[in-house]
Chains A and B, each alone.
Chain A
């Protein structure tokens, strides 16, 4: 690596300092350098949503965010959501509702679904579909995914009453 920049960022709560080529996108940095392989790369052009992770708590496409541009930020991958309450509920619901088959899209689905649950607590199924339209699944036909998010939204609403 001839042309590198040193960056410091938080990855799943851990401070990481590394020299990166500016052209290294965040997903490659996480997979190849941090060995966090739950972040999947599908299209590498921001279309499929498989690589969606959290940067400063907000969903972001990690294939079109360069690692160097995330210097100083806090990055959370699906590995970092083990204890996250919404993610726990979503994982159970995805399993119950058959929200996955091959599992390639699932990490991105979980991150986007978590955003829907937190940002759109009153979503109906049409809005769930609209909000999830940036994540492609080639197995399920989406019905199980929508039902899983529905289940979590309903459970949280019932718990709040």
Chain B
């Protein structure tokens, strides 16, 4: 199918983009690589009046080390993060996760900010940035605010972004040299969306013991139970308790799949 007849603007300054996105007489949507929005437009699941292309705003395309964090502009592509030509404060976590997103042709255009804003529960950045304890810097006409990724993702395709706001930056805390990372996702075919994702970060120097169950048809579930991460408690009954109240909480197959994904991620950290 073909997209509806939308208009298109490509401002070079953030303020101009925010001005356009704040309009309430039309439906305006920000777009970067269009690797999620593009299919939705073609399928007419999205029918905006105006697309505001934010990829020409220079500050949104930078990766820089800022104190004890890596600051990643919203429009930085997965391919850029995969290729690792920046001062990676995550000891290889970002390049490795980026390399597993969809396919290279998609990674060449798709962006980290777009992925977060789209908030598909199966997305790699949703799971990864939650486990890393990253923060999102959001800008609107009235200024900026910072939200933890864990609080930013509210549900399936649902975020804390308010009308007229966009993500400008993602801030990932630097990992210590003792940090260990585990990541496992179930895909029936390489590059497709995950059916169950487990992510684990153990960083003793910073006192971090955090696991995440993602792609579970809702917001990511944070697990800080040392018995699950360091003990032998990653079992279906424990994971079922964590998934209680979600649409898959009573589904034994789904619970088992998530248990195994998390267990395999944990094994990469503790094994």
Please list the residues of chain A having a beta carbon within 8 angstroms of any beta carbon in chain B: 2-3, 5, 21-23, 25, 28, 44-47, 49, 52, 55, 58-61, 63-66, 68-69, 71, 112, 115, 119, 129-131, 133-135
Contacts and interface: CB of A to CB of B under 8 A. Distances in A.
Contacts of A49: 103, 105
Contacts of B105: 49, 52, 59-61, 112, 115, 134
A66 B103 contact: no
Contacts of A52: 105
A3 B5 contact: yes
Contact of B108 (A2, A5, A60): A60
A44 B108 contact: no
A22 B6 contact: yes
B41 A44 contact: no
Contacts of B35: 46, 61, 64
Contact of B1 (A44, A46, A66, A130): A44
A63 B109 contact: no
Given A60-B105, A61-B106, A112-B105, 13 more contacts: A3-B5, A23-B3, A25-B3, A25-B38, A25-B42, A46-B106, A60-B109, A63-B38, A66-B8, A69-B55, A115-B105, A134-B103, A134-B105
A45 B40 CA distance: 8
A101 to B, nearest CB: 21
A99 to B, nearest CB: 18
B8 A133 contact: no
A64 B37 CA distance: 8
B42 A44 contact: yes
A15 to B, nearest CB: 20
B118 interface: no
Given A112-B105, A134-B104, A68 B191 contact: no
B42 A134 contact: no
Contacts of A64: 34-35, 38-39, 42, 109
Contacts of B103: 49, 112, 133-135
B24 interface: no
A35 B215 CA distance: 42
A59 B104 contact: yes
Given A44-B42, A63-B42, A64-B38, A134 B8 contact: no
Interface in B225-252: none
Interface in B72-105: 79, 102-105
Contacts of A46: 35, 38-39, 106
B43 interface: yes
Contacts of B191: 133-134
Given A22-B8, A59-B104, A134-B104, A65 B43 contact: no
Nearest to A108: B105
B178 interface: no
A46 to B, nearest CB: 5
B8 A68 contact: yes
B42 A130 contact: no
Nearest to B50: A22
Contacts of A66: 8, 34, 38, 51
B4 interface: yes
Contacts of B158: none
Contacts of B7: 3, 22
Interface string B1-29: 11111111010000000000000000000
Interface in B182-224: 189-191
